[in-house]
Chain A
Amino acid sequence: MSSSAGLSPSLENYLEAIFNIVAEKGVARTRDICLRLGIQAGSVTGALQSLSREGCINYAPHELVTLTESGRATAARIVFKHNKLRQFLVEVLELPRKDAETIACSMEHYTTVEMAARLAAMTDFFANAPELRKRLTRCMAEAVQSCRDGCEMNSITAEGNQIMVNSANTVTLMEAAPGRKYTILKVHGRSTVARRLTEMGAGKGAEVLVERVAPLGDPIEIKVRGYRLSVRRSEAKNIEVVVK
Chain B
Amino acid sequence: MKIRVALTGNPNSGKTTVFNALTGSNQHVGNYPGVTVEKKVGRRSYAGHEMEIVDLPGTYSLTAHSPDELVARNFLINEKPDVVVDIIDSANLERNLYLATQLLELNVPLVMAMNMSDMAERSGASIDYEKLGGYFGAEVVATVGSTGHGMTDLLNAVVKKAGLAKRPEPLRKISYGDDIEAEIERISAMLPGACELVAERGARWVSIKLLEQDAEVAGEIRDVSIVDEVEKSVVRIRKICGDSPAVIMAERRYGFISSVYESSSRQSPEARHDVSDAVDKILLNRVWGIPIFLLMMYLVFKLTFTVGDPLMGLVESMTGGLSGFISGFWEEGSESMLRSLLVDGVIGGVGGVVIFLPNIVLLFLAIAVLEDSGYMARAAFIMDRAMKKTGLHGRSFIPMIIGFGCSIPAIMGTRIIEDRKSRYATIMVLPLMSCGARLPIYALLIPAFFPPSYHGVMMWLIYVIGIVLAAVLATVLRRSILKGDEEEFLMELPPYRMPTIRGLFMHVWERSRLYLQKAGTVILMLSILLWGLTNFPRPDAGVLEGLSDEQAQEVSLRTSAAGRIGTAIEPVIGAMGFDHRIGVALIGALAAKEVFVAQMGIVYSLGQADEEWQTLRERIAQDYTPLQGFCIMLFTLISAPCVATMAITRRETKSWKWALFQFFGLTTVAYVITVIVYQVGGLVI
Over the window 117-128 of chain A, the binary record of Cβ atoms lying under 8 Å from chain B Cβ atoms (1 yes, 0 no) is: 000000010001
Over the window 205-244 of chain A, the binary record of Cβ atoms lying under 8 Å from chain B Cβ atoms (1 yes, 0 no) is: 1100001111111110100011111111011000000000
Complex interface: chain A residues within 8 A of B280 (CB): 211-212, 221, 228
B490 to A212, Cβ gap below 8 A? no
Complex interface: chain A residues within 8 A of B285 (CB): 215
A230 to B250, Cβ gap below 8 A? no
CB distance from A219 to the nearest CB of B (A): 5
Q: Is B229 an interface residue (CB 8 A)?
A: no
B284 to A221, Cβ gap below 8 A? yes
Given the known A-B contacts A194-B243, A195-B244, A228-B492, are A216 and B251 also in contact in the complex, defined by CB atoms under 8 Å? no
Q: CB within 8 Å of A: which of B208-267?
A: 239, 242-244, 246-247, 250-251, 254
Given the known A-B contacts A130-B239, A187-B247, A195-B244, are A218 and B385 also in contact in the complex, defined by CB atoms under 8 Å? yes
Tell me the bound Cα distance from A63 to B289 in angstroms: 23
Q: Is B489 an interface residue (CB 8 A)?
A: yes
Q: CB within 8 Å of A: which of B250-296?
A: 250-251, 254, 269, 276, 280, 284-287, 289-290
Given the known A-B contacts A214-B385, A221-B284, A226-B94, are A203 and B251 also in contact in the complex, defined by CB atoms under 8 Å? yes
Contact of B394 among A195, A197, A206, A219 (CB under 8 A): A219
Q: Is A168 an interface residue (CB 8 A)?
A: no
Tell me the bound Cα distance from A199 to B491 in angstroms: 13
CB distance from B140 to the nearest CB of A (A): 20
Contact of B382 among A186, A203, A205, A214 (CB under 8 A): A214
A219 to B284, Cβ gap below 8 A? no
A191 to B246, Cβ gap below 8 A? yes
CB distance from B260 to the nearest CB of A (A): 14
Given the known A-B contacts A191-B244, A219-B381, are A199 and B489 also in contact in the complex, defined by CB atoms under 8 Å? no
What residue of chain B has the Cβ atom nearest to residue A125's Cβ? B242
Tell me the bound Cα distance from A63 to B40 in angstroms: 57
Tell me the bound Cα distance from A213 to B280 in angstroms: 12
B interface secondary structure, majority: helix
Q: Is A201 an interface residue (CB 8 A)?
A: yes
A interface secondary structure, majority: mixed
Contact of B491 among A130, A192, A204, A229 (CB under 8 A): A229
CB distance from A201 to the nearest CB of B (A): 4
B384 to A215, Cβ gap below 8 A? no
Contact of A195 among B246, B385, B388, B489 (CB under 8 A): B246
Complex interface: chain B residues within 8 A of A193 (CB): 488
In the complex, how many residues of chain B place their beta carbon closer than 8 angstroms to a beta carbon of chain A? 46
Q: CB within 8 Å of B: which of A67-98?
A: none
Complex interface: chain A residues within 8 A of B377 (CB): 230
Q: Is A180 an interface residue (CB 8 A)?
A: no
B65 to A204, Cβ gap below 8 A? no
Q: Is B92 an interface residue (CB 8 A)?
A: yes
Q: Is B486 an interface residue (CB 8 A)?
A: yes
CB distance from A204 to the nearest CB of B (A): 5
Complex interface: chain B residues within 8 A of A200 (CB): 60, 95, 490, 492
What residue of chain A has the Cβ atom nearest to residue B102's Cβ? A199
Q: Is B493 an interface residue (CB 8 A)?
A: yes
Given the known A-B contacts A197-B490, A225-B94, are A203 and B247 also in contact in the complex, defined by CB atoms under 8 Å? yes
Contact of A216 among B93, B98, B269, B385 (CB under 8 A): B385
Q: Is A36 an interface residue (CB 8 A)?
A: no
Given the known A-B contacts A226-B92, A230-B384, are A199 and B284 also in contact in the complex, defined by CB atoms under 8 Å? no
What residue of chain B has the Cβ atom nearest to residue A129's Cβ? B239
Contact of A234 among B93, B486, B491 (CB under 8 A): B486
Complex interface: chain B residues within 8 A of A31 (CB): none
A205 to B92, Cβ gap below 8 A? no
Complex interface: chain B residues within 8 A of A230 (CB): 377, 380-381, 384, 394, 489-493
What residue of chain A has the Cβ atom nearest to residue B93's Cβ? A226
Complex interface: chain A residues within 8 A of B65 (CB): 192, 196
Q: Is A198 an interface residue (CB 8 A)?
A: yes
Given the known A-B contacts A195-B63, A230-B491, are A201 and B384 also in contact in the complex, defined by CB atoms under 8 Å? no
What residue of chain B has the Cβ atom nearest to residue A193's Cβ? B488
Complex interface: chain B residues within 8 A of A199 (CB): 60-61, 63, 98, 250
Complex interface: chain B residues within 8 A of A192 (CB): 65
Over the window 158-178 of chain A, the binary record of Cβ atoms lying under 8 Å from chain B Cβ atoms (1 yes, 0 no) is: 000000000000000000000
Q: Is B307 an interface residue (CB 8 A)?
A: no
Taking Cβ atoms with an 8 Å cutoff, the residues of B that contact A are: 60-61, 63, 65, 91-95, 98, 239, 242-244, 246-247, 250-251, 254, 269, 276, 280, 284-287, 289-290, 377, 380-382, 384-386, 388, 394, 485-486, 488-494
List, sorted by A's number, 24 A–B pairs whose CB atoms are closer than 8 Å: A128-B239, A128-B242, A130-B239, A194-B243, A198-B254, A201-B94, A201-B95, A213-B286, A214-B381, A214-B384, A215-B289, A215-B290, A216-B385, A217-B385, A226-B92, A227-B95, A227-B493, A227-B494, A228-B492, A229-B490, A232-B488, A232-B489, A235-B489, A235-B490
9 more contacts with CB within 8 A, not counting A212-B284, A214-B381, are A128-B242, A194-B244, A195-B250, A214-B289, A216-B290, A221-B280, A221-B381, A229-B490, A231-B488
